[in-house]
């Protein structure tokens, strides 16, 4: 089974923008790429996942670097980014739109680009995908944070998944964890038919797995993705390291990707046996 | 030259406007087809034999002339395309109930797909110019893989925002991407708790949300990226 989908190059990277690194989940790849693209007129609007109080995700159209930075960081709950794409074109008048999304969202956008039946005049230029193992409905997240970790949602400053645990960082400087195994019952069940871990259809995909803390693993997949990422590197927006020189490297990404694919392929087969519908691939 | 006819039944002509809204691409299309019938654009009174008929609008069952036109299109066209919500699914005309002058008896409207065999249905109110362009290009290139979703749709004359509940949310498939909400032309769909909530009063049964939902249909040709 192909673990990553097509890509031209993989690297480990980190932003050089201090204000991004302060807020970023990992290496600040998404925010920095969008900031570079907005500053250089490659894009004039980007759809990002921002949040309201208590870590409630809310998609947003950002047209300035400040708005991009505001939205940095992973939310671990459903954020319907694609719902805002037409708004970016109509209400914000964006002609070159960038979108960040989970693998399923990137797939949705590819479909809307190829079959733009309800998307008149919506020009999507650039897609950044983030690695995703699964997501949680908001109240699932709330149970994990409040009941399993004993932290009030209003006190959370950062959430993370890594090293087999779900991590909650509070504004009082505390860190609480819970084993990932205990969070499984709160996963969104529609994630269990997804067989894409690394956002295989994005122009550039990124995630924490494979790179050291504070760095991100980046797959550059398309010609457009390569152009924009290379230019950003040349202009000093990123530090990069060869993926072969970092630990744990692509082997771990591969392992997790194949785990997701195999597990969810089994679930798809299981649902078929039960007579339940599965996503229709043509 | 591929002969194309545009036929208008009970509709607003918005689908034809959307086709012409392709600007310079319209010229590209017109260079590779011969438009043999289109009451809005050319002075031809009789529907001609053609390769493709793009039909917009639903069929008023009390208007026997409309029924005859529908049958005639099927006889004269090799491929019949239901262009837009009304022809494909009834669209707004699903809500017609008559009692309006000067024809108070004209009350029953069926999508073309329920009256004759249709080969492809294109959803939307209207379908976007880009989509109509890509569809015609694919038709001219005989790109069956690309056309497949439209072919499947021709078998499904009944669509509604409720499809999102029946086929996706109720079936453990909705992951909350929001594509349905973006595609809706009347903003009938809002995302609440990461799931679509459809306002049935605003839904005009255009079929866009369920067509665009990546968890209902996912053509594998999308896997090819460059």
Average pLDDT of A76-80? 97
- Is the full-model pTM beyond 0.90? yes
Q: Is A38 near chain B, with CB under 8 Å?
A: no
pLDDT of residue B98: 97
Contacts of A193 in chain B (CB under 8 A): 172-173
Q: How many domains does chain B have?
A: 2
CATH of residue B79: 3.40.50.700
Q: Is the peptide bond before A40 cis (omega within 30 degrees of 0)?
A: no
From the centroid of its chain, how far is CA B66?
18
Distance (Å) from the C-alpha of residue A69 to the closest C-alpha of chain B? 22
Domain boundary among B135, B155, B175: B155
Q: Is residue B99 located within the same domain as residue B147?
A: yes
Q: Is residue B27 located within the same domain as residue B108?
A: yes
Q: What would the pLDDT profile of A48-75 be if each residue is shown by its tens digit?
A: 999 999 999 999 999 999 999 999 999 9
In chain A, where the domains are located? 9-133+195-274, 137-185
Q: Is A90 near chain B, with CB under 8 Å?
A: no
Q: What would the pLDDT profile of B181-219 be if each residue is shown by its tens digit?
A: 999 999 999 999 999 999 999 999 999 999 999 999 999
Tokens coding A155: 């006190």
Tell me which residue of A205, A190, A237 sits closest to A99, measured CA to CA. A205
Distances (CA, A) of B183 to A56, A127, A217, B180, B202: 24, 18, 33, 5, 14
Q: What is the CATH number of domain A137-185?
A: 3.10.450.750
Q: Is residue B133 located within the same domain as residue B34?
A: yes
Strands A204-207 and A124-130: parallel
Domain holding B111, by residue range, is 2-155
Tell me if B175 and A110 make a contact (CB, 8 A cut-off): no
CB atoms under 10 Å from CB of B131, counted, come to 24
Q: Is residue B218 located within the same domain as residue B186?
A: yes
Q: Are A168 and A140 in contact (CB under 8 A)?
A: no
E strands, B9-165, where?
33-38, 50-56, 59-60, 77-83, 109-110, 120-122
Asked if this assembly's ipTM is beyond 0.90, the reply is: yes
CA B147, CA B136: separation in Å to the nearest integer? Answer: 10
Burial group, residue B104, by CB count within 10 angstroms (0-12, 13-18, 19+): exposed
pLDDT of residue A258: 98
CATH of residue B212: 3.30.70.20
Q: What would the pLDDT profile of A28-50 be if each residue is shown by its tens digit?
A: 999 999 999 999 999 999 999 99
pLDDT of residue A159: 96
**Residues in CB range of B174: below 8 A, 6 or more apart:** A190, B164, B168, B195, B196, B215
Q: Is residue B126 located within the same domain as residue B170?
A: no
Tokens coding B54: 């793009």
Q: Is residue B41 located within the same domain as residue B135?
A: yes
- Percentage of the residues of chain A whose pLDDT score is greater than 90: 99
Distance (Å) from the C-alpha of residue A94 to the closest C-alpha of chain B? 15
Q: Is residue B41 located within the same domain as residue B82?
A: yes
């Amino acid at each position: 089974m192909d673990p990553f989908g097509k890509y031209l190059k993989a690297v480990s990277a980190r932003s050089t923008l201090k204000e991004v690194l302060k807020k970023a989940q990992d290496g600040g790849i998404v925010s920095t790429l969008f900031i570079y693209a907005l500053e250089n007129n490659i894009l004039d609007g980007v759809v990002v996942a921002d949040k309201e109080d208590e870590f409630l995700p809310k998609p947003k159209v950002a047209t300035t670097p400040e708005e991009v930075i505001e939205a940095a960081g992973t939310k671990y709950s459903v954020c319907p980014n694609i719902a805002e794409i037409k708004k970016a074109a109509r209400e914000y008048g964006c002609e070159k739109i960038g979108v960040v999304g989970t693998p399923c969202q990137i797939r949705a956008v590819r479909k809307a680009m190829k079959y733009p039946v309800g998307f008149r005049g919506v020009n999507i230029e650039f897609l950044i995908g983030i690695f995703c193992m699964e997501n949680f409905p908001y109240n699932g997240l709330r149970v994990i944070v409040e009941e399993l970790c004993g932290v009030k949602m209003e006190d959370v400053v950062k959430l993370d998944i890594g090293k087999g645990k779900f991590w909650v960082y509070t504004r009082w400087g505390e860190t609480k964890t819970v084993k990932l195994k205990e969070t499984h019952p709160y996963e969104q069940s529609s994630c269990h038919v997804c067989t894409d871990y690394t956002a295989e259809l994005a122009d550039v995909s990124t995630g924490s797995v494979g790179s050291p803390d504070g760095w991100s693993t980046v797959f550059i997949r398309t010609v457009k993705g390569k152009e924009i990422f290379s230019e950003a590197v040349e202009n000093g927006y990123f530090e990069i390291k060869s993926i072969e020189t970092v630990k744990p490297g692509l082997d771990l990404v591969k392992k997790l990707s194949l785990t997701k694919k195999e597990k969810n392929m089994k679930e798809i087969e299981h649902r078929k046996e039960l007579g339940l519908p599965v996503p229709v691939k043509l | 030259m591929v002969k194309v006819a545009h036929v208008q039944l009970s509709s607003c002509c918005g689908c034809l406007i959307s086709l012409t809204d392709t600007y310079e691409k319209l010229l590209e299309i017109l260079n590779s087809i011969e438009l043999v019938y289109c009451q809005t654009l050319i002075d031809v009174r009789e529907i001609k034999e053609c390769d493709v008929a793009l039909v917009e609008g639903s069929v008023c069952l009390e208007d026997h002339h409309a029924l005859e036109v529908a049958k005639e299109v099927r006889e004269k066209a090799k491929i019949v395309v239901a262009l837009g919500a009304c022809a494909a699914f009834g669209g707004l005309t699903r809500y017609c109930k008559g009692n309006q002058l000067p024809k108070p008896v004209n009350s029953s409207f069926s999508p073309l797909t329920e009256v004759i065999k249709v080969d492809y249905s294109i959803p939307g109110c209207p379908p976007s110019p880009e989509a109509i362009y890509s569809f015609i290009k694919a038709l001219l290139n005989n790109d069956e893989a690309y056309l497949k979703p439209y072919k499947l749709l021709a078998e499904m004359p009944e669509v509604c925002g409720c499809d999102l509940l029946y086929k996706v949310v109720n079936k453990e498939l909705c992951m909350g991407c929001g594509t349905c909400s973006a595609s809706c032309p009347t903003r009938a769909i809002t995302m609440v708790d990461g799931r679509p909530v459809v306002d049935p009063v605003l839904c005009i049964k255009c079929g866009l949300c369920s067509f665009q939902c990546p968890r209902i249909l996912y053509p594998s040709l999308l896997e090819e990226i460059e």
